[in-house]
Structure 1
């Protein structure tokens, strides 16, 4: 049961004794549910997956996808005419994973997947690999219903499991093992192609292309190919392939039906990065180029060879013109291309490309369809994952997330208020951007206006380090320029270019080039260490607050802007406040610079830390007035804490805005407290617009709020499950 207690004017250094009172059930507030960043809000059960690394297009325009990961299990999905039709299932968790290739024929969908054993915990012959091993292979599904496995009869596992009706056994009978590998040496399938007679598999790590009977799934033949990636089957039985696909300069090769190399393949430009290949009804070869061009290239046969005849997309993609500005034909991180029978072209992208691991799940999946004349037919977006949102302090209808900007029109219906306005990560212009080097996802945003300029601060999923970005719209459009970085532990920053050994350093872009240059790092010379802890906060004056679990609260004071326009932070200008009573361990500290008020959460001797709930803000919340001079606790309240509840009832994120404190549970419910008294006003719950559902809030600062001029509050909540950020609209009743 949640309890509430109030304490007035208690000195910071004194221990607190708490009197508890039973609390009535929280009142559900009248808030409108909405979202940003996904074409669908799950109100009708649909969402756009968070990553797409491969597509296959059926003649009727259905688009089948694949990816290594979607948080809600839609790694392999099917779309048509801008609608999600469903997903395969059986590709997510509990020993199952997606992959990077997919193909179709008239009867089946073939999806590259992985099968594991959860560190030896899954044991059943033919269903799971033995301990220490991992299977890479192909699951075959009914093209009319991807959820329906299409078993075949002639494999060893298929015969052993012939009479087993268990759902995992049925999936196993529909699975063809291509590579049986050690856990630490996974050998993925780089491409698939299919006719009604044959299935072609690009076995990338084994340097070969393998052919299987499309019905029996028995191996027919193979031929050598250097690191084959995506493949496409010609009407004449020949096969087009991207080879040396893991290198810096992939090539296109044309093979005859028996595997002989033909001499008519086009030569690509030196800076091309071919990631997918397709053929249209005119016999043209389409190549998705994820290099600087960011285009789909068309090659037609001229005499004895194929030459480039046209291209789809603006040259430079999203980075051309106003860099980072999205729009039709402004591609960003191409991963797939396909064509239907009518000549419509389909393009997938994820902000980075096919070979950069899970980071693609954080940079934004898009799937687009273009008519033969290049006109956009439809677009689907799943842009956010492990991400939050923060109102742009310079533009009240502009919202920053970890690496995107959205514009709001709050006059529109739920889910239609947002417009994708900016992509912030310039991988060609700023390749040292730590979003590509330090963690799998961009980070959680705090945006501040300092000395007339806007800066974006990003914390990572585990609150280890802090990234700082500046903007220069005239020179860099929407792109965020790496400006500063505060490192924590050594391991998360081990891939930062030119970094000093270990952690505990500050980097500032002293020459303004956005690169991590030698000589731009400052190591922490003192005894006070900011490593460890779950709390980061940047106040409105630019001071950075770092909450250590047991060492207190560190304050890095804002030192103004340097000549390049970077905010200056220095270990010499750091102050540490001791752990305030009644806490024994701290988790978050939110400072209101305008009133010199500090809001702190954590654990006490009577309410100790439970290591099973390691991301939570703690069980106690205290407001301290006059923090910088004569700190005194105004009140102390219990936060929700019922670890036996289903679902779990704790608090994982907290923020302060206007008159209220907003505290979010892992299941997404937002408790609202009056900041002056600590009294709970009520709770915001997800509504019908989002299917009465919120994914797990899985980050330490997954909630933010903004009070609009008309008194309405916009409350943003990270929503892991389905590629979006929740946006609740709440107006307090007087």
Structure 2
């Protein structure tokens, strides 16, 4: 949907801006929120679905991660995870669609997502079992094949958190890291329990024998715990097992080691490897990082349906930070469909030399085809930038990050900064793969920026100082050079009590400072502060204040119900883009100001393309803006509530309206 500036929202000035003092060069005056000039529309990057479909508890999005997969014979894939920001801790996927109605437990809250947060689930005919993070075994009834039909039945207390669940008509098998527990499917009571160390997963056959993944072996046990003939060894890093829904005498094993493949074993009379699926070494095969259907990674589960279609769930791990990618392959190995979520507490960044056609996250590279008119259709996954599984425990797979990309002397550099700021991790590329080449930072520091020349700015340096670390070129090892011991240093302007963000435009020698002037209330940690100021000629010696303006606030946003200043800010072209921490009037605003005079221009908010839904901005660098050669502005905004980045496409002069309307 394209939005035109033919209306303004009836919100009085004081709900948007704090009143400025007379010493300021300029204080905005306006009658409330309004749309910016020209036209804009909402799109998104990083999730197959945009998040429309209803309020909390309803809607369409792929969940934040996947720790466990179960597949029913009809071809429904169940993905479980211990956290999804909007509560989809159990997602049901069939023929490329996701359930709109979320599963919701009842009773006392013991786990996130209406008690469904889990790392262990199973399905048997019309019953879904979820062993949640609150040590409860939940049961749901559903109509097989109808992904919106699940209804809560009851829950049963467990002695510990489970790592796996399996079920058939007689048994519910609950696996713990150090034990296997068998319960009656009729009354959920414990029938027996036996110790076993290193348990990761369990599969239950039609003859009631167990195939247990413990350590690096898969062993066959009776329901009494007695070892039976048959063991699968020589695995690299097995993560999951499942009995095929097409062939009850076949076991699938996910091996997440260097091979990154799914192994098929015929079980009669003893286990025999009969098939391998996936390119050996996964993402690192062929052109490293390049995404292809048969290049698997982060294997969390796999199984077939009754027709022989194969379902593969992939994630880099660590719950919602590891993403969720689910693929369905036909029996001949051809990809039928896939769905994915590649964003949690993350902000993506534009490659400045791509004219908006390349976007980077902490671990992925996206293409944007900006000629496509349908919102959400512009993006596609090009590659992953992580050498996996070699770096499966690196911080960029474990934690959310904001990505800033710079092209320096013909080489691309990725700068990552986290939810608590503190500086940058610096990565240089070899092909698609980004390798850590440096770090700069300091605890409890929030004001960081990389200008177009690669110089790194720190606005809240020691002793009320502003620092700049110059980019000095590349060394013989392909690493960017910085002299961390000798930055340029300037004192803060005298009237600043605290600097919280800094932006520098190297082309115009313009510096933007954000924070608190003396006498202003410091409202919270991590936000940008009440005041923005623009300086011309910062380095040239002819320094001059161009303007000083008050920033918008959430009127009752902080813990004390007092005004809360914005979370994030960026500059692109002629405009300053300011992202708020919280939605206001159920709208998550990104406000726009002119850099020429600091005047308010208008406000962006999510449109019906994403159900007008958005959560809080958690990242201090939650907004990334870019001006294309044709005058279009692209604005990426963190949106972790339903797992994506919002993409605002704004044409200030309106010239693209007819070509992009729909």
Correspondence list, 1:277-676, <5 A: 277-282=242-247, 283-301=249-267, 304-352=269-317, 357-358=318-319, 361-396=320-355, 397-412=357-372, 413-430=374-391, 433-435=394-396, 440-473=398-431, 478-488=432-442, 531-548=443-460, 551-610=464-523, 613-628=524-539, 629-644=541-556, 650-666=565-581, 667=583, 668-676=588-596
Equivalent in 60, 65, 80 of residue 74 of structure 2: 60
Is the deviation greater in 624-633 or in 587-596? 624-633
Q: 2:3 is matched with which residue?
A: none
Spell out, residue by residue over 1:83-141, the C-alpha distance to the aligned partner (whole angstroms, 9 max, x if none): 111432357549956221101112321112122xxxxxxxxxxxxxxxxxxxx232222
Scaled by the length of structure 2, the TM-score of the pair is 0.88
SS in 2 for 1:299: strand
Q: 1:88 is matched with which residue?
A: 103
CA positional deviation for 1:560: 1.4
- Report the CA distance shift for 1:630/1:59 in structure 2 as closer, same or farther (over 3 A): same
CA distance in structure 1 between the partners assigned to 2:88 and 2:239 by the alignment = 26
Is the deviation greater in 55-64 or in 276-285? 276-285
CA distance in structure 2 between the partners assigned to 1:100 and 1:432 by the alignment = 19
Correspondence list, 1:150-299, <5 A: 150-151=153-154, 174-179=155-160, 188-204=161-177, 207-244=178-215, 250-269=216-235, 271-282=236-247, 283-299=249-265
Q: 2:91 is matched with which residue?
A: 77
Equivalent in 41, 44, 48 of residue 50 of structure 2: 41
- Report the CA distance shift for 1:647/1:548 in structure 2 as closer, same or farther (over 3 A): closer
Is the deviation greater in 105-114 or in 721-730? 105-114
CA contact (8 A) 2:466 2:489 kept: yes
SS in 2 for 1:262: strand
CA contact (8 A) 1:712 1:731 kept: yes
SS in 1 for 2:165: strand
Is the deviation greater in 259-268 or in 641-650? 641-650
- Report the CA distance shift for 1:695/1:429 in structure 2 as closer, same or farther (over 3 A): same
Spell out, residue by residue over 1:266-309, the C-alpha distance to the aligned partner (whole angstroms, 9 max, x if none): 2233x34343333343211110111111111001246x421211
CA distance in structure 1 between the partners assigned to 2:174 and 2:593 by the alignment = 58
- Report the CA distance shift for 1:484/1:634 in structure 2 as closer, same or farther (over 3 A): same
CA contact (8 A) 1:534 1:588 kept: yes
CA contact (8 A) 2:25 2:546 kept: no
CA distance in structure 2 between the partners assigned to 1:237 and 1:96 by the alignment = 29
CA distance in structure 2 between the partners assigned to 1:453 and 1:19 by the alignment = 40
CA positional deviation for 1:456: 0.7
Question: Is the aligned partner of 1:108 residue 2:127?
Answer: yes
CA distance in structure 2 between the partners assigned to 1:62 and 1:309 by the alignment = 25
SS in 1 for 2:577: strand
CA distance in structure 1 between the partners assigned to 2:602 and 2:426 by the alignment = 35
Is the deviation greater in 364-373 or in 220-229? 220-229
CA contact (8 A) 2:28 2:599 kept: no
CA positional deviation for 1:442: 4.7
CA distance in structure 1 between the partners assigned to 2:150 and 2:590 by the alignment = 35
CA contact (8 A) 2:116 2:130 kept: no
CA distance in structure 1 between the partners assigned to 2:393 and 2:487 by the alignment = 27
Spell out, residue by residue over 1:233-288, the C-alpha distance to the aligned partner (whole angstroms, 9 max, x if none): 111111111012xxxxx21011124332112222233x343433333432111101
Q: 2:658 is matched with which residue?
A: none
Spell out, residue by residue over 1:576-598, the C-alpha distance to the aligned partner (whole angstroms, 9 max, x if none): 22221432111000000111110
CA contact (8 A) 2:289 2:433 kept: yes
Q: 1:31 is matched with which residue?
A: 40
CA contact (8 A) 2:142 2:150 kept: no
Q: Give the root-mean-square deviation of aligned CA atoms.
A: 2.4
CA positional deviation for 1:689: 0.4
CA positional deviation for 1:431: 6.4
- Report the CA distance shift for 1:723/1:699 in structure 2 as closer, same or farther (over 3 A): same
CA positional deviation for 1:147: 5.6
CA contact (8 A) 1:102 1:191 kept: yes
CA distance in structure 1 between the partners assigned to 2:137 and 2:459 by the alignment = 47
CA positional deviation for 1:423: 0.6
Spell out, residue by residue over 1:540-599, the C-alpha distance to the aligned partner (whole angstroms, 9 max, x if none): 111101121772322111121111121111233212222214321110000001111101
CA positional deviation for 1:22: 4.7
CA distance in structure 2 between the partners assigned to 1:541 and 1:92 by the alignment = 47
Number of residue-to-residue matches in the alignment:
611
CA distance in structure 2 between the partners assigned to 1:212 and 1:411 by the alignment = 56
CA contact (8 A) 1:4 1:21 kept: no
Specify every segment of 5 or more residues in structure 1 that has no aligned partner in the other structure, as ranges: 8-14, 116-135, 152-173, 180-187, 245-249, 489-530
- Report the CA distance shift for 1:42/1:150 in structure 2 as closer, same or farther (over 3 A): same
CA distance in structure 2 between the partners assigned to 1:209 and 1:287 by the alignment = 19
Scaled by the length of structure 1, the TM-score of the pair is 0.79
Spell out, residue by residue over 1:132-170, the C-alpha distance to the aligned partner (whole angstroms, 9 max, x if none): xxxx2322222346763212xxxxxxxxxxxxxxxxxxx
CA distance in structure 1 between the partners assigned to 2:116 and 2:457 by the alignment = 39
